[in-house]
Amino acid sequence: MLAERPILTDVYEHVSEFSPEAASIYVFRRSNEERSEQVPPMLAAGSAVAIEVLQEERFSTLMQLGEEQFTVPLRSERSLAAFWARFAIGTPVYLDITGLSHHVWSAFLKSALAHQHDVMALYVEPADYRYSSVATDGEIFDLSLRTEGIDSLPGFATLAEESTDLVFIPLLGFEGARLAHLLEETEPAADRIIPIVGVPGFRIEYPFHTYAGNKRVLTATGAWRRARYAAANCPFSLYYLLEDISREFPLARLSIAPIGTKPHALGAVLFKVLQGSTNVELVYDFPIRKVGRTRGADRLFVYHVATLAGGAMRGQ
């Protein structure tokens, strides 16, 4: 059974142990977090082709390849395809999601998979998260200064949903206010909320922080009773869990909110892309990140997402 559900991940205990494959493509962005700064210096020494995302807008992104700078609209399959067409099929592609925002890497990933590129997602864990100094639970002004509001990720808008039976699946992070806001906008029935907690967490105590941060909403709705678990750093575990849930609710519309870890968000995006169902949707709140929300860098993960996609395509 396990063999049928492989965890297609390479783990490096420290960033310095990793080096990209020769002649590979490496897409990344330096955000305001230390961990996103870890890999780029290494690229200078290697033979990987570095493509830096210089600027992220809501619907487009400014990129740099060598001396060339260019803009890629995110709601344009044609432009995304043209970007990938620069590289031969079979060229290893690293999509470093550490410093990229969800709405950017998800659009590139969807397109890369559609054009059968050998894409791997790369992620560096933080050494630590910052916590609020104010003693109220669910502080929205802690990790995020504020959010831009609920919206679909570019290229992932769902307008053709069929089922009215909504199952809401929040991938929990520490920020309870974000969950509360999503619930307010999504309005699922209380017995149709299935929260997913990252267990094991990046650190042993993180699942407890997750519960503490989301306690109010989980208690008010009784959703804590229906919590499921997937390793916080494993998109594949999350993907398989979503498969299980979709089998339990075959006629329902699954509304997945990736407000937890990036690997979980990656699993959710993979699920949406590979399932191709109109009854799966991603709902996101576009947080504006606070400077210095995390500290340091810990392990590095390389997720072989194209391998999963290949398997999923063959299975369809």
Partner 1 sequence: MEVNSAATEAEAVSNLFGLYKAEWLHNQLFELFTEPSYFAELANDNTCVLLGGRGTGKTTVLRGMSYEGQFALNSGSTPPLKHVPYVGLYYRVDTRRVTAFRGPEIDEDSWTKCFGHYINLVFCSLIVEFLQWYGRTASNALELDVEALERVAASLNLETTTTLADLSRTIKKTKIQFEASINNVADAARPPLSLLGAPVEELVAAAATVPALAQKRFFFILDEYENFLPYQQRVVNTLIKHASAFVFKIGVRELGWRERGTLNPNERLTHPGDYARIDLREQLTGDTFRQFASKVCNGRLGKVRLIHSDVIERIEEALPGMSEEEEAVRLGVETENRQVLASISNAALQEFGERLTPARLYFTRYWSAAGHGSVEELLADWMRNESQWETRFGNYLHASLFAIRRGKRGIRKYYAGWEVFTNIADGNIRYLLELVHQSFRGHALAGRDVATPVDAELQTRAAQDVARKNLDDLEGLSVEGARLTRLLLGLGRFFNVLAATPEGHTPELNQFEVAEEDDDPELSRACQLLDLAVMHQALVRFRGTKPADNTDTKDYDYMIHPIFTPFFVISYRRKRKTIMTARELLLLTEQPKEAIRELLAKQNRIGDYDLPDQMNLFGGYFGVG
Residue ranges binding partner 1 (CB under 8 A):
58-60, 73, 75-79, 133-141, 146-152, 154-160, 162, 176-192, 216-217, 220-221, 278, 281, 283
Contact yes or no for 28/50 (Cβ under 8 A): yes
Residue 221: CB minimum distance to partner 1, A: 7
Residue 299: CB minimum distance to partner 1, A: 32
Cα–Cα dist 223/241, whole Å: 17
Residue 279: CB minimum distance to partner 1, A: 12
Q: Which is nearer to partner 1, 57 or 128 (CB)?
A: 57
Residue 32: CB minimum distance to partner 1, A: 20
DSSP state of 232: T
Residue 252 neighbours by CB under 8 Å, 6+ apart: 163, 165, 166, 167, 192, 279
What's the distance, CA 47 to chain centroid?
27
Q: Which is nearer to partner 1, 96 or 281 (CB)?
A: 281
Q: Which is nearer to partner 1, 154 or 201 (CB)?
A: 154
Cα–Cα dist 91/117, whole Å: 7
Residue 103: CB minimum distance to partner 1, A: 12
Cα-trace Rg, the chain: 19
Residue 171: CB minimum distance to partner 1, A: 16
Q: Which is nearer to partner 1, 140 or 231 (CB)?
A: 140
Q: Which is nearer to partner 1, 216 or 228 (CB)?
A: 216
Place of tokens 């260019």: 70
Contact yes or no for 126/311 (Cβ under 8 A): no
Q: Which is nearer to partner 1, 207 or 213 (CB)?
A: 213
DSSP 279-301: TEEE-B--EEEPTT-EES---EE
Contact yes or no for 258/171 (Cβ under 8 A): yes
Residue 128: CB minimum distance to partner 1, A: 22
Q: Which is nearer to partner 1, 75 or 293 (CB)?
A: 75
Sheet strands (E) in the chain:
9-12, 25-28, 49-56, 60-65, 68-73, 92-96, 118-124, 128-129, 144-147, 166-171, 196-198, 228-230, 253-258, 280-282, 287-289, 294-295, 300-303
